[in-house]
Structures are given as C-alpha cells and as structure tokens.
Amino acid sequence: MKTVGLIGYGLAGAVFHAPLIGSVPGLRLAKIVTSRREQVAKDLPGVTVAGGIEDVFSDPAIDSVVIASPSAHHYEHARAALLAGKHVVVDKPLAITSREGGELLELAASRGRVLSVFQNRRWDNDFLTVQHAIK
C-alpha cells in the first residue's frame, strides 16, 4: 500500500485529487494540509489534517505527495517534497516559469523520484477519441 499526502483541499484537492486517490487500489490518502479541518472530517473520516506542510514532508510513511495548493506555490511545494524524497504529482501548472519547471525536472531526476503534472483531461472520452483518430 502506497501512502499519499495531499497539499491543499480547495476545489482541486476536494473534487479531483482526494476522490481519485481514494479510488485507486493500492493508494491510501493519509494526510491533508488544509485550513478546512471540518470539511475533511466530514468528507474523509480517518484522514489526518496535518499541522503543516513539513508534517507531510517529514513523514517517512508517506511515499508520494500531490500538490494542489495555489499555483504560485507549486514550485516551492514540489521542490520541498522532492528534497524530502517524495514522489510528486503537481496540479496544473507545474510551475509559473519554464526555468522553475526545468529545475524541478532536474531535481526529480537527480533524486530518482517521479515528478508528474496532473493531466486528468487526457482520459476523457473526447480526448481518447481524438487520440485514436490520429493514430
């Protein structure tokens, strides 16, 4: 069982990331960083609301981190997660600048960690149909 931490429980975290993590066999959402404690308790009983980002990054039981914080923080949060040895999925956009994005890619490669941008639309029927038609 792979354990996941989620940074942010706004629209992206609550509507996309938490439900998707919960639907994947072999993944367990363990901690969420958010100010919305009551909402997490209602939506996801048993999931811990972390005291802060470092609580997720320093937890050796957490294998992967999903970054769903505001876009301006994606780079700093993804960088910190990679430096903590976590695999990382970042909600769009990966970073604000291409330089930051490149730095994250290099850091992930140097640490042997997976870094991915969340691309949920590529699995929608219309996108799959276009992909099939192009092939």
Comparing C-alpha atoms, which of 36, 26, 6, 3 is closest to residue 18?
6
Residues 4 and 28: beta-carbon distance below 8 Å: yes
- pLDDT score of 123: 67
> What residue spans define the domains of the chain?
2-134
Mean pLDDT (the chain) is 94
Residues 96 and 40: beta-carbon distance below 8 Å: no
Angle at 83 between CA 82 and CA 89, to 5 degrees: 10
- Whether the model clears a pTM of 0.85, i.e. scores above it, the answer is yes
What would the pLDDT profile of 85-129 be if each residue is shown by its tens digit?
A: 999 999 999 999 999 999 999 999 999 999 999 987 666 777 778
Identify the CATH homologous superfamily for domain 2-134.
Answer: NAD(P)-binding Rossmann-like Domain (3.40.50.720)
Rounded to an integer, the average pLDDT of 50-66 is 97
Residues 64 and 82: their CA atoms lie apart, in Å, by 9
